[in-house]
C-alpha cells in the first residue's frame, strides 16, 4: 500500500507555495495519470496537492487573446466547447480520443501535457494551433510555446514551484479545417501508437505527430513540401515524415509500423483538410 499526504488547496498561492517548499510534492488535477503512476511506482509522492477545484483554473472562455483553457478544465468540457469546435476542431478531436467518457470527465488538458508523454493525444493538436502554455509560480508568471514545453518523455519545461495555469489557443485562429487521427491497438481506451494532427491555415498546413519521438514533433519536411514547394501529391509529401520522426519499438508497435502509420495518417489527414 502507498502512503502519502493529501491537501486540497484553497487558492493558487497556497498551491505553488507548497510546490516550492515541499519535496516529492505533486499537483493533482484529474489524477488519471498521477494516481495510476503512484500505484505503479512511476511517481513517489509524499504530498499530493489537489488543484482541481480552484476557480482560477476552471476558466474556459474566449477573449481578445483567443481561447483560454484553465488547468482544471476537463477534456469532455474542451471537446464540447463551441469556440473550440468552431476554430480548433483538431483539439476537440484530440481531446475526444483520450481514454473513455468517464476518464475524460476527470482528465485535464494541463495534466495531459504536464505528464509529458510523447503519445499525449492533445499535444500534437496544440502544436498545430501554436498554443501557448501559461505558467504561474511563486516567482511570477511566464509563457512557453507548446513546442518548447515538451522536453523529453515525462519531462516538461516547468521549474520547481510552478504550475500550468492555462493553455491559450491564440488569435488569429486558423482559416481552414483541422483533424486528429489516431492509430491504437484496440481502437478505444488505449494510448496512441501514432497520433497525427493536421491543421490547414488557408492554403498552408501544419502537421504534428505524437508517439514517434521523445516528444511530439512537427513534420517539418511534409509542411515544407506542401507549403513551400507546392507538392500536390500528398502521399509523396507524407512519405517525407520519415525525416522528422524517430520512432521506437515498444509494446504498442514496432518502429517500422509507426513509420508506416505516420505516413498513412498524415496522407489521410491532409486529404481530409484539403477537401473541406
Ligand atoms: C484508462 C486510461 C486511459 C487513458 N487513455 C489515454 C489516451 O487515450 N490518451 C492520452 O493522451 N492519455 C490517456 N490517459 C492518460 C490520462 O488520462 C491523460 O494524460 C490525462 O489528460 C491526464 O490529466 P489529469 O488531469 O488526470 O492529470 P493528473 O493525473 O492529475 O496529472 C498528471 C501529471 O501532471 C501534473 N499536473 C497536473 N496538473 C498540473 C498543472 N496544472 N501544473 C503542473 N503539473 C500538473 C501532475 O502532478 C502529474 O504529474 C489514460 C489514462 C487512463 C487511466
Q: Is the CB of 103 under 6 A from ligand 1?
A: yes
Q: Nine-digit cell at 252?
A: 504498442
Q: Is the CB of 13 under 6 A from ligand 1?
A: no
* Residue 191 alpha carbon to ligand 1 centre in Å: 12
Mutating to test ligand 1, I would choose from 103, 125, 193 the residue with most ligand atoms within 8 A of its C-beta, which is 103
59 and 166 inside one domain: yes
pLDDT per residue of the chain (276 residues) written in tens, 0 to 9: 789 999 999 999 999 999 999 999 999 999 999 999 999 999 999 999 999 999 999 999 999 999 999 999 999 999 999 999 999 999 999 999 999 999 999 999 999 999 999 999 999 999 999 999 999 999 999 999 999 999 999 999 999 999 999 999 999 999 999 999 999 998 778 999 999 999 999 999 999 999 999 999 999 999 999 999 999 999 999 999 999 999 999 999 999 999 999 999 999 999 999 987
Q: Is the CB of 2 under 6 A from ligand 1?
A: no
61 and 156 inside one domain: yes
Give residue 189's pLDDT.
Answer: 87
H helical segments located in 30-122: 34-40, 75-79, 82-87, 89-96, 101-106, 109-114
* Residue 71 alpha carbon to ligand 1 centre in Å: 11
115 and 184 inside one domain: no
59 and 162 inside one domain: yes
Calpha distance 94→79 (Å, rounded): 8
> Which of 139, 170, 201 is the endpoint of a domain?
170
Mutating to test ligand 1, I would choose from 27, 56, 144 the residue with most ligand atoms within 8 A of its C-beta, which is 27
* Residue 174 alpha carbon to ligand 1 centre in Å: 27
Q: Are 211 and 223 in contact (CB under 8 A)?
A: no
Question: What range does the domain containing 151 cover?
Answer: 55-170
Give residue 76's pLDDT.
Answer: 98
Calpha distance 169→109 (Å, rounded): 12
Whether the model pTM is above 0.95? yes
Q: Is the CB of 123 under 6 A from ligand 1?
A: no
CATH code of the domain in which 207 resides: 3.30.390.50
Give residue 188's pLDDT.
Answer: 79
CATH code of the domain in which 43 resides: 3.30.43
If one counts the domains in the chain, the total is 3
182 and 266 inside one domain: yes
Give residue 1's pLDDT.
Answer: 78
81 and 166 inside one domain: yes
160 and 76 inside one domain: yes
The 10 Å Cβ neighbour count of residue 78 is 27
104 and 184 inside one domain: no
Pair type for strands 47-50 and 5-8: parallel
Q: Which atom of ligand 1 is nearest to the CA of 114?
A: 34
Amino acid at each position: 500500500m502507498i502512503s502519502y499526504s493529501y491537501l486540497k488547496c484553497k487558492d493558487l498561492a497556497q498551491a505553488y507555495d507548497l510546490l516550492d517548499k515541499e519535496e516529492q510534492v505533486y499537483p493533482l488535477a484529474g489524477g488519471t495519470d498521477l494516481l495510476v503512476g503512484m500505484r505503479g511506482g512511476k511517481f513517489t509522492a509524499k504530498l499530493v496537492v489537489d488543484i482541481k477545484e480552484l476557480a482560477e483554473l476552471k476558466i474556459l472562455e474566449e477573449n481578445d487573446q483567443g481561447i483560454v483553457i484553465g488547468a482544471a478544465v476537463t477534456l469532455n468540457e474542451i471537446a464540447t466547447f463551441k469556440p473550440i469546435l468552431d476554430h480548433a476542431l483538431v483539439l476537440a478531436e484530440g481531446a475526444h480520443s483520450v481514454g473513455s467518457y468517464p476518464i475524460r470527465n476527470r482528465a485535464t488538458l494541463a495534466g495531459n501535457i504536464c505528464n509529458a508523454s510523447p503519445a499525449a493525444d492533445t499535444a500534437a493538436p496544440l502544436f498545430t494551433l501554436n498554443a501557448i502554455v501559461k505558467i504561474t509560480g511563486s516567482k511570477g508568471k511566464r509563457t512557453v510555446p507548446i513546442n518548447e514545453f515538451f522536453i523529453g518523455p515525462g519531462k516538461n519545461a516547468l521549474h520547481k514551484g510552478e504550475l500550468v495555469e492555462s493553455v491559450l489557443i491564440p488569435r488569429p485562429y486558423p482559416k481552414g479545417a483541422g483533424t486528429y487521427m489516431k492509430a491504437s491497438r484496440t481502437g478505444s481506451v488505449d494510448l496512441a501508437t501514432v497520433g497525427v494532427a493536421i491543421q490547414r491555415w488557408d492554403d498552408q498546413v501544419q502537421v504534428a505527430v505524437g508517439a514517434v519521438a521523445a516528444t511530439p514533433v512537427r513534420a517539418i519536411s511534409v509542411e515544407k513540401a506542401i507549403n513551400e514547394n507546392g507538392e500536390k501529391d500528398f502521399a509523396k509529401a507524407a512519405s517525407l515524415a520519415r525525416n522528422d520522426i524517430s520512432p521506437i519499438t515498444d509494446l504498442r508497435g514496432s518502429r517500422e509500423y509507426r513509420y508506416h502509420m505516420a505516413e498513412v495518417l498524415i496522407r489521410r489527414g491532409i486529404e481530409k483538410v484539403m477537401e473541406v
